[in-house]
Amino acid sequence: MTNTSGTYIPPAGPLTLKQKVGQLFMPAVFINDTEEEVQRMEKLIKEQQVGSVCFFHSRASAATNFEGKKKIVHNKKSYDCLLELIKRYQNAASVPLLIAIDAEWGLAMRIENTPQYPYAITLGALADKNELIFKVGGAIGKDCREAGVHWNLAPVVDINNNPENPVIGYRSFGDDKEKVLGKAEAFIKGMGKSGILNSIKHFPGHGDTATDSHLGLPVIDKSMGELMEYELYPFKKLIESGIDSVMVGHLLLPQLDKENPSTTSSKIISGLLRQQLGFNGVVISDALNMHAVSKKYPEKGKLEYAAFTAGMDVLCFSENVAEGIHEIITNASETRIQESFERVWALKNKAFRKEKHEKIQTTQLQANSKLNREIAINSITESVGDQALFKNIKNTVFLNVSVSFGKKNSFSEQISSSFNSKTVNLDEALISDNELVLLSIFPPAVKPKDQFGFDKKTLANIHRLLEKRNTFIYLFGNPYVLDILKLKPSSNLVLVYQDFPEFQDVAFEHFSGRIKARGKFPIQLKTFQP
């Protein structure tokens, strides 16, 4: 048996009951762990016969830093650390591990200096260009495979129909169920072509909530008819077409189970997902360390057992592996254990059919850049209240105002160079007499927490500028930011979605009149209706 390319999975027969239960556990591992922590994980993998691991950036990343109080240390060599740790953890395993990661927009979601692709909400702006999403899925799958990752816990198929959603938002393809379905299908097919496993999430649908399940338990209080019509729609259709796994989120659906979150609800997992929707593949939990469920089970191992009993196959981010294994062996039937084991074993055999470990090459990065540019051209979206202004701004004197929070604003730099318009900040713009303003905004954060990271003064000054000046906005970020800008129906804006160099270049070409906006709003906003 070997744990590298050409991995051999031994017959399931010789495994003991404890080994089979160990195969159901997926503890978190961290790229920036200390040597002591790495050795502790190697020991856990060996002693508990762990079946899979899920990689995160560090113990200060979002996975364990829900309140955002810990300082995240950046590591330029994260990718090399990933390769080394995969090798070490595989060597510690008597049965080859499934290596998983959240790579919704590429390995860059967890690892510095790796290819990053547009967020799902950006892909949601593509009009009838699902072939580009197929390419994104394929590229992400290729990056994963070459790093030694088998299982991308993606895509998000939640329909984000709540503008105040603090955790899904930009991770969703949008608020139209058919478009979410079509784009998810393209992404999954692309990954599949690269030989990478998928996981649609967060069942039964995390889109219509204003609660972050990292911190609390969201409640989706809708009738079964409403759920089948909307939240469950993409899950049902994708299950019918064939997928590898379903990730169950931490949600309370009182109309189905008043007592238990979906993670520990047999009515939702065994009843709704297995029996009613007919899913026979692997069911994986969302991270079990999340406060929505972890605080309800203070005794070690009880949460893992409750989730398993409800119908879960893989226990992701279990922080109590040994105790969880003990609880399941002590209390569960061998028949129930065998059911989950066989599903996980089949997934392993599928994953190890294709393995190739290579470093990401420069030529590949160039191909990724080309793909990002193509997506930028087809996703850039405009809502122009004053067409005359848009046509004439290039031929008049205007203020080139940058709100970039230290991010490189090559868009404004190109504007300055080509249109002889010096880049100024908000304070300078507010004291100027010029009535015409080109405003480029780079939000500090992609998540809506604390007004997307805007400080009160900056946000107030943006409001003043929009009130006083005839302003044309280019937004390089989450379109939900528009809801906090106090825009008017006649506002002039262009959504660029990302701040990648390729997107900034395309935005400049759009301003210059060389390309037209082709994208469509992927969401309905709360206050601004384009």
Instruction: Please give the full DSSP string across 214-245, using - where no structure is assigned.
Output: TTS--B----HHHHHHTTTHHHHHHHHH--SE
The pLDDT assigned to 11 comes to 61
Contact 115, 60 (CB under 8 A): no
Q: Taking 80 as the threshold, does the pLDDT of residue 214 lie above it?
A: no
Strand 25-26 to 492-495 pairing: unpaired
Q: Tell me: pLDDT of 71 over 80.
A: no
Topology of the domain comprising 17-362:
TIM Barrel (3.20.20)
Which SS3 state, helix, strand or coil, does residue 315 take?
strand
User: Domain residues of the chain, as ranges?
Assistant: 17-362, 380-512
pLDDT band at 1 (very low <50, low <70, confident <90, very high): very low
Question: Which has the closest alpha carbon to 50: 103, 2, 89, 8?
Answer: 89
Statement: residue 66 has pLDDT above 70 = no
Contact between residue 463 and residue 486 where contact means Cβ atoms under 8 Å apart: yes
d(CA 379, CA 1): 47
| pLDDT over threshold 80, residue 123 | yes
Structure token digits, residue 455: 């400080």
- Looking only at the bridges linking them, the beta strands covering 381-383 and 492-495 are antiparallel
| Mean pLDDT along residues 145-164 | 94
The answer to whether 147 and 193 have CB atoms below 8 angstroms apart is no
pLDDT tens for residues 226-263? Answer: 999 999 999 999 999 999 999 999 999 999 999 999 99
CB of 481 closer than 8 Å to CB of 462: no
Extended strands (E) in 387-445? 399-403, 423-424, 436-441
The whole-number pLDDT of residue 365 equals 58
DSSP letters for 328-376: HHHHS-HHHHHHHHHHHHHHHHHHTTS----PPPHHHHHHHHHHHHHHH
Q: Is residue 457's pLDDT more than 60?
A: yes
Sign of CA dihedral 231, 250, 336, 317: positive
Q: What is the pLDDT of residue 208?
A: 85
Q: Are strands 315-316 and 25-26 parallel, antiparallel or unpaired?
A: parallel
Instruction: Identify the helix (H) or strand (E) that includes residue 426.
Output: helix 426-431
- Residue 293: what are its φ and ψ, rounded to 5°? -125, -30
Sign of CA dihedral 65, 71, 72, 75: negative
Residue 154 identity: A
**Residue partners of 364: CB distance under 8 A and separation at least 6:** 115, 142, 143
**What is the pLDDT at residue 490?**
85
Residue 357: is its pLDDT beyond 50?
no
pLDDT band of residue 362 (cuts 50, 70, 90) is: low
pLDDT tens across 278-318, in order?
999 999 999 999 888 988 999 999 999 999 999 999 999 99
Report d(CA 420, CA 54) in Å as an integer.
50
d(C-alpha 119, C-alpha 106), whole Å: 9
78 pLDDT more than 50: yes
pLDDT at 473: 97
Compute the average pLDDT of residues 134-143: 97
- pLDDT score of 34: 94
Among candidate residues 6, 64, 2, the one with its CA nearest the CA of residue 31: 64
Q: Is the pLDDT of residue 4 over 70?
A: no
At 386 the pLDDT is 83
Q: Tokens 């591990």 belong to which residue?
A: 97
- Asked, colleague to colleague, whether 17-362 and 380-512 share their fold, the answer is no
Q: Comparing 96 with 353, which gets the higher pLDDT?
A: 96
pLDDT digit string (tens) for 394-423?
Answer: 889 999 999 999 999 999 999 999 998 889
What is the pLDDT, as a whole number, of residue 215?
Answer: 74
For residue 315, what are the CA distances in angstroms to 191, 263, 287, 319? Answer: 23, 10, 8, 10
List, for residues 464-509, the tens digit of each pLDDT value. 999 999 999 999 999 999 999 999 888 999 999 999 999 999 999 9
Cβ atoms of 377 and 515 closer than 8 Å = yes
Q: What is the pLDDT of residue 528?
A: 84
pLDDT at 526: 86
d(CA 148, CA 477): 31
Judge whether residue 323 has pLDDT over 90.
yes
Domain 380-512 belongs in CATH node 3.40.50: yes
Cα diameter, the chain: 81
Cα distances from 95 to residues 7, 14, 47, 90, 423, in angstroms, run 10, 11, 12, 8, 59
pLDDT over 60 (residue 3): no
Q: Which residues of 60-82 are buried (b: 16+ CB within 10 A; e: fewer)?
A: bbbbbbeeeeeeeeebeebbebb
According to the model, what pLDDT value does residue 5 have? Answer: 40
Residue 6 has pLDDT above 70, yes or no: no
Provide the token pair at 63: 């996975």
Query: In the prediction, which pLDDT does 8 show?
Result: 55
Q: Give percent above pLDDT 70 in the chain.
A: 94
- Please report which confidence band the pLDDT of residue 7 belongs to, taking 50, 70 and 90 as the band edges: low
What span, in angstroms and rounded, lies between the C-alpha atoms of 2 and 95?
9
Q: For position 72, what pLDDT does the model report? A: 75
Average pLDDT in the chain: 92
